[in-house]
Structure 1
Amino acid sequence: MEAKLGEFDLIWRFFKAGSESMAQTQTDQVLLGIGDDCALLQPDAAQNLAVTSDMLVEGRHFFAGANPEWLGHKALAVNLSDLAAMGAKPVGFTLALALPDANADWLAQFSQGLFRFAQQWQCPLIGGDTTQGPLTICITALGHVPAGAAIKRSGAKVGDDIWVSGTLGDARLALGALRNEWSLSPSGLEAVLPRMHQPEPRIALGLQLRGVASSALDVSDGLLGDLRHILKASQVNAEVLIDQLPTSPTLAEQTESLRRQCAANGGDDYELCFTAPAGKRMEVESLSTTLLPLTRIGSITFTSNGTEPTLMLRDANGNPLAAADSMQLRQSFDHFKSS
């Protein structure tokens, strides 16, 4: 019978080794990684350091008994998605992990998924903490962006186009099927589950949007709710063509009501929503050809003059949605209001 793992045995066995395997990434910026009291970073003087932190709690953000390898991937991916939204390149991350018990099989799978994804983006683990408690995963990711080049939420201007990357709504479609809110065919569920369990942050796109996008954020709590953060920070109003939101073939074949609901306010998409001047349209379309599909879904209309921003939703014919339909589609996820 294998001896019970202690805290430091756990760190050295499952996370120190994985960190050391990425030692080649600890160059000029990461001087000292995991294993000391602090990590030591040395950002370039011409760079800004971007820092973000996200927490995943069992029973709130993922089902009990979820695949630990997928959890390792997702826990880091949701943080790198925040860096992507600001046009920041990943530098490293810390991991705080609360575990009900030190299960070696679970830890082996979790760390495998975590480090496989970290290796993909050359983003080493540089520190963290472990404790006993309800399963909770908290990652803080760091990235760098040239001074003054970060893409903020507050830069949208009247006349800007509104764009979104990839497709929307598959993660919510998968979640609803797993919760028996609606039914999907086995092949349909298989097609959308990866979007829920293994999201792909749009880091390459974020880097290319420097100097092109006027504002941006990642879509984590639902497109329309997240877009309102841009409108509020930029003090502008907008309109969105609700039936122009890009969807996968699986979601596109659902009813209009379900398609709209998932695409407009489904969470966990981790696509980028951004604004860009109309004069940059050709540059954005070029990125759509070379990187991944980008869809123009609306525009910034007027300044809000210090009042609460308004978001007009229009259907495929350009007509405003009925008030009840519009209100339903604006309800994004809130950790303290949503069940």
Structure 2
Amino acid sequence: MGEFDLIARYFTRPVRRAALGVGDDCALLRVEAGMQLAVSSDMLVAGRHFFEDVDPRHLGHKSLAVNLSDLAASGAKPLAFTLALSLPSVDEHWLQGFSQGLLALADQHGCELVGGDTTQGPLNICITIFGEVPPGQALLRSGARVGDDIWVSGTLGDARLALDAMLGKVHLPPDLFKVARQRLECPTPRVALGLALRGIASSALDVSDGLLGDLSHILKQSLAGAEIDAEAVLQTMQARQSGLSLPDDLWCQCVLAGGDDYELAFTAPAGAREHVLAAAHSAQTRVTRIGRVTEGQGIRLVDARGQPLARQRWNSFDHFA
């Protein structure tokens, strides 16, 4: 099968919202009058971001999910995306599964595949996604203010626990491993929540490299610090509620610095708590208040009584660290 046959069979679909999709040198996008275009790119590399034997349907899902998560963190509505795909060889079984997982999630969010590129080489997936947001309504990292609440969506830490299990660092019961692995390989982008938080959240980002490291980006750009209730964060982790016994430091590493969660961390004024909960209810997404924005710099971890906890070496992921 040649390159263009591959594209035609697995990745060419009629477009609905775009003016022109796959087949020309450039796609043409229709953006509603007065809207701003939100653009993000993510790359997934075999052996770095995923195991090469991962279910291709799950990989297709995650490849787009991590990009949709960026739009969610900006409060942007998905519009379209491009796919650049490097393949060692043409494996039709793999392509069938990958395209099914990719396009099923795309359909779920009304996000069209409008172009890209294919080439032969090491397995590498790069997606650029486009969304739209009204001027002045995008969620940014720079808007947190002293006194704001800090919230997270969904659950944290289970994806990292699954990775540790797959690397043989920890043993999980089969049913718990299945749940944790689903969080690692098929994250849920919180697009509906991001849209619902427009006009409510003062800042936001998605948790991809670990809560403490990602939250520090908000604090740096907002010129503020934070106080985090460590136990409130730990209680978001599904596996921790299962009765599984693991060292406290491992729980903290997974939840505070694990990464691959693709949940939203956001801030909002303390007076907006009811609005935050209403937004979460409308998006059918759990949210947990985990701390507050403070003066100064850095992140201070406290226990349920507000007493300081010693900060361990819970480092978030860094490709070049």
- Normalising by structure 2, we get a TM-score of 0.96
Q: Distance in 2 between matches of 1:200 and 1:249?
A: 15
Give the corresponding residue for 1:294.
287
Q: Among 44, 50, 57, which residue is 1:62 paired with?
A: 50
Give the corresponding residue for 1:72.
60
Give the corresponding residue for 1:328.
313
Q: Distance in 1 between matches of 2:256 and 2:136?
A: 32
Q: Distance in 2 between matches of 1:137 and 1:153?
A: 26
The Cα RMSD (Å) is 1.2
The offset of 1:316, in angstroms, is 2.4
Give the corresponding residue for 2:254.
262
The residue type equivalent to 2:257 in the other structure is: N
The offset of 1:289, in angstroms, is 3.6
Higher mean C-alpha deviation, range 48-57 or range 249-258: 249-258
The offset of 1:191, in angstroms, is 1.7
Q: Distance in 1 between matches of 2:277 and 2:317?
A: 30
Q: Distance in 2 between matches of 1:249 and 1:96?
A: 34
Moved over 4 A (4+): none
| Counterpart contact for 1:169–1:251, Cα < 8 Å | no
The offset of 1:258, in angstroms, is 2.1
Give the corresponding residue for 1:11.
7
The residue type equivalent to 2:240 in the other structure is: L
The residue type equivalent to 1:298 in the other structure is: G
Q: Distance in 1 between matches of 2:190 and 2:60?
A: 18
| Counterpart contact for 1:243–1:260, Cα < 8 Å | no
Q: Distance in 2 between matches of 1:193 and 1:271?
A: 16
Change (3 A) 1:32 1:132: same
Give the corresponding residue for 1:84.
72
Asked whether 1:129 is paired with 2:117, we answer: yes
The offset of 1:118, in angstroms, is 0.6
Deviation by residue 1:242-279 (Cα, 9 ceiling, x = unmatched): 11114244233343322221110111100000000011
Alignment of 1:86-235 (within 5 A): 86-235=74-223
The residue type equivalent to 1:162 in the other structure is: I
Asked whether 1:250 is paired with 2:239, we answer: yes
| Counterpart contact for 1:173–1:251, Cα < 8 Å | no
Q: Among 265, 268, 274, which residue is 1:282 paired with?
A: 274
| Counterpart contact for 2:70–2:206, Cα < 8 Å | yes
| Counterpart contact for 1:243–1:316, Cα < 8 Å | yes
Q: Distance in 2 between matches of 1:215 and 1:288?
A: 16
Secondary structure at 1:40 match in 2: coil
The residue type equivalent to 1:200 in the other structure is: T
The residue type equivalent to 1:250 in the other structure is: A
Secondary structure at 1:154 match in 2: coil
The offset of 1:113, in angstroms, is 0.8
Q: Distance in 1 between matches of 2:177 and 2:285?
A: 23
Q: Distance in 1 between matches of 2:107 and 2:280?
A: 26
- Normalising by structure 1, we get a TM-score of 0.91
| Counterpart contact for 2:57–2:97, Cα < 8 Å | yes
Among all aligned residue pairs of Structure 1 and Structure 2, give the percentage whose two residues are the same amino acid.
57
The residue type equivalent to 1:104 in the other structure is: E
Secondary structure at 2:170 match in 1: coil
